[in-house]
Amino acid sequence: MNKERIERLNNFESVIDYRFEDLHLLDTALTHRSYSNEIRDPDLSDNERLEFLGDSVIALCISDILIAEFPTLKEGDLSKLRASVVNEHSLAKVAALFSLGSYLLLGKGEEAYGGRTKRSILADAFEAVTGALFLDGGYEQVFPFIKNIFEPLLAGGIGDANHRDYKSMFQEFCQKEYNTIPHYEHTGKHGPDHETLFEVRISIGEKTEATGIGRNKKAAEQDAARKALENLADKAE
């Protein structure tokens, strides 16, 4: 690492409020495969192994939080709630909050095609940073890091946390593209009265687009609309 790279990494440490004992871990976490393939330095590693680790670490941290906050929810409901906030969309949003894309090492091709703002790359890099933090500081360091980020999302849902009206956005899309409006069907609820999760299915005509969950019907509808928009965006890529 040259002096300029070290300064950039130190700046990112300030952004996430954590100082690495092994700065090479952070450097690896922020190195995309396209860059390592282009440089062809045998001593340079990309972030895919750390991404693999970070994915599991995030899942463990969120599971830990959910087990503590929802002591009576069943396994299936816990899994649905975890999946509602831990996905490519939310991870990329978190990465963007840290301006993570600006710290990545990318190959020229990925750079030219907007890799610094690509959702999949940002989400993977955030997982890699989490994996690096876990290796450097252990669970006692990574757990509060993840908890501070995701508790607001768990408390209010992705839609509320980002102040986005996904229902209106999806309805506008359906009216423009299909000359119709989406249909919301409340398909059930799970858990005890004080910790109920509502489930909603959203469809266009006869085709189901997505299923959402939330702590009330409104939140579940927003979650379903958000997922439907994500599915449409993925198909368009």
Which two structure tokens, joined as six digits, stand for 92? 């990329």
Look up 127 and say whether it is catalytic: yes
Look up 165 and say whether it is catalytic: no
Active-site residue, selected from the candidate residues 127, 209, 221, 223: 127
Tokens 């002096």 locate to: 3
Active-site residue, selected from the candidate residues 27, 46, 55, 221: 55
Identity of the amino acid at 180: T
Active site members:
55, 127
